[in-house]
Amino acid sequence: MKLSKKKLRQVAEWFSEAGVSDILADAVQGHGVTKSGISTLAELKEAMSRVNISIKECALNMVFGVGDEHANILLLGEAPGAEEDKQGVPFVGQSGQLLDKILKAVGLDRANVYITNILPWRPPGNRTPTTEEVTLFRPYVLKHISLINPKIVVCVGGTAAKTLLQTNESMSQLRGRSMRIPELSAEIFSTFHPAYLLRSPSQKRESWIDFLNISQRMESLQDGR
């Protein structure tokens, strides 16, 4: 997901207008929000709320994140849907209900994970986020993850995985692999988005296997293995 110099300049202008110029250099160079003055989730949410982006004009609510702020597992989705936009909470619609069932099946729930998205506002018509939108928010996502400081990040869906990992690999190529990026200490795993599973129920078993492996990996990390 490499951007042209013109697109990078546009990203720079967006950050400047949002009042977060202290993270601009790292963001445009792709190193994440590593030198900003943001040190709390409240400060991050405030900074994100000031981002000048058109999709928030069509949204009802900003959808930030929910769950255990000291969780060992963070789930990263794509963007809010209609129900999430109404409630201001990530993964509460049909996709969220399926995600809850999958988490429960492997001994997890919302009380012991943290859930957020690449974008905090619903794109019009639930369209796929643009390259410019996810590039704009990637530094905020990196900061969000670093503030939670999980041991494992689970990218839920292709958009989340490709944005965080900066890759064009398909979900079939990414699934089942533990990956890392320089900006984060957490291990990164990828799995299908629940919305995809609702359309392709035959893949639910594969998603359950992914989460089972993630749960087992979490146990190994907690045991120091």
pTM of the model: 0.84
Query: What is the pLDDT of the chain when averaged over all its residues?
Result: 87
Candidates 210, 179, 218; CA nearest to 192 is 210
Binned at pLDDT 50, 70 and 90, residue 11 comes out as: low
Candidates 17, 48, 24, 7; CA nearest to 147 is 48
**Tens of pLDDT, residues 91-112:** 999 999 999 999 999 999 999 9
CA distance 198 to 204: 8
Please give the residue range of the domain that contains residue 85: 5-222
**Tens of pLDDT, residues 37-62:** 899 999 999 999 999 999 999 999 99
> What is the CB-side half-sphere exposure of residue 121 using CA atoms within 13 A?
21
**Tens of pLDDT, residues 136-145:** 999 999 999 9
Per cent of the chain over pLDDT 70 is: 84
Q: How many domains does the chain have?
A: 1
Candidates 215, 208, 219; CA nearest to 101 is 208
Q: What is the CATH number of the domain that holds 25?
A: 3.40.470.10
Phi, psi of 67 (to 5 degrees): 125, -160
Give the N- to C-terminal CA distance of the chain in Å, as an integer. 34
Candidates 99, 101, 69, 57; CA nearest to 196 is 99
- pLDDT for 73 equals 97
